[in-house]
């Protein structure tokens, strides 16, 4: 099974940005966590991060015919990007939404998730573990 993990803007700043919300662990720590969990589950994983909406759309499109599922934390684009929602719908792969923080308990503008509308599973407010749970969900639910 080949899975794509897509991370949106400012997630590369983990460990630096708003530590009271996102914690002290870095983006590299997150990548290592995902790779370790994927190895344990016996799934292949490619991790992509970009601060640009178009690059995220391009990478999702490239997953068509290449990946068996997409795990996505679109970060701030969650709440604004119909383009990312449409890309997820276009490739029509099993998709899981992850957010480190519980967006349902944050500012009103974070309550709407466009990308989430194309996702069959949601792991919200669990920190790094959300990615682990999403990998487990993919292993159970996606077709290799
Ligand atoms: C986030 C939540 C978003 O609202 C925010 O813009 C982020 C990170 C999260 O993982 O909690 O950058 O997606």
- Ligand 1: which atom is nearest the Cα of residue 102? 11
Q: What is the pLDDT of residue 129?
A: 98
Report how far residue 7's alpha carbon sits from residue 27's, in angstroms, rounded to the nearest whole number.
10
Residues 6+ apart with CB under 8 A from 90: 60, 61, 64
22 is catalytic: yes
Each residue's pLDDT tens digit, 49-104 = 999 999 999 999 999 999 999 999 999 999 999 999 999 999 999 999 999 999 99
pLDDT digits over 11-29, tens only?
999 999 999 999 999 999 9
Q: Are 9 and 50 within 8 A, CB to CB?
A: yes
Atom of ligand 1 nearest to the CA of 74: 13
Tens-digit pLDDT profile for residues 109-133: 999 999 999 999 999 999 999 999 9
Tell me the β-bridge partners of 49. 7
Segments making up each domain of the chain, as ranges = 2-141
Q: Which fold has domain 2-141?
A: Rossmann fold (3.40.50)
Return the closest-CA partner of residue 5 out of 42, 31, 28: 31
Closest-CA residue, ligand 1 atom 13, reads 75
């Amino acid at each position: 099974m080949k899975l794509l993990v897509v991370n949106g803007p400012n997630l590369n700043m983990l460990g630096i940005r708003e530590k009271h919300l996102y914690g002290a662990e870095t983006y590299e720590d997150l990548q290592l966590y995902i790779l370790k969990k994927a190895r344990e589950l016996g799934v292949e994983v490619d991790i992509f991060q970009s601060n640009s909406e178009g690059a995220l759309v391009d990478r999702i499109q490239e997953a068509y015919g290449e990946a068996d599922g997409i795990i996505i934390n679109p970060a701030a684009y969650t709440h604004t990007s119909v383009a990312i929602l449409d890309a997820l719908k276009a490739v029509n792969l099993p998709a899981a939404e992850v957010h480190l923080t519980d967006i349902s308990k944050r500012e009103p503008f974070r309550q709407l998730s466009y990308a989430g509308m194309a996702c069959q599973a949601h792991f919200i407010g669990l920190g790094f573990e959300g990615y682990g749970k999403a990998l487990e969900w993919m292993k159970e639910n996606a077709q290799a």
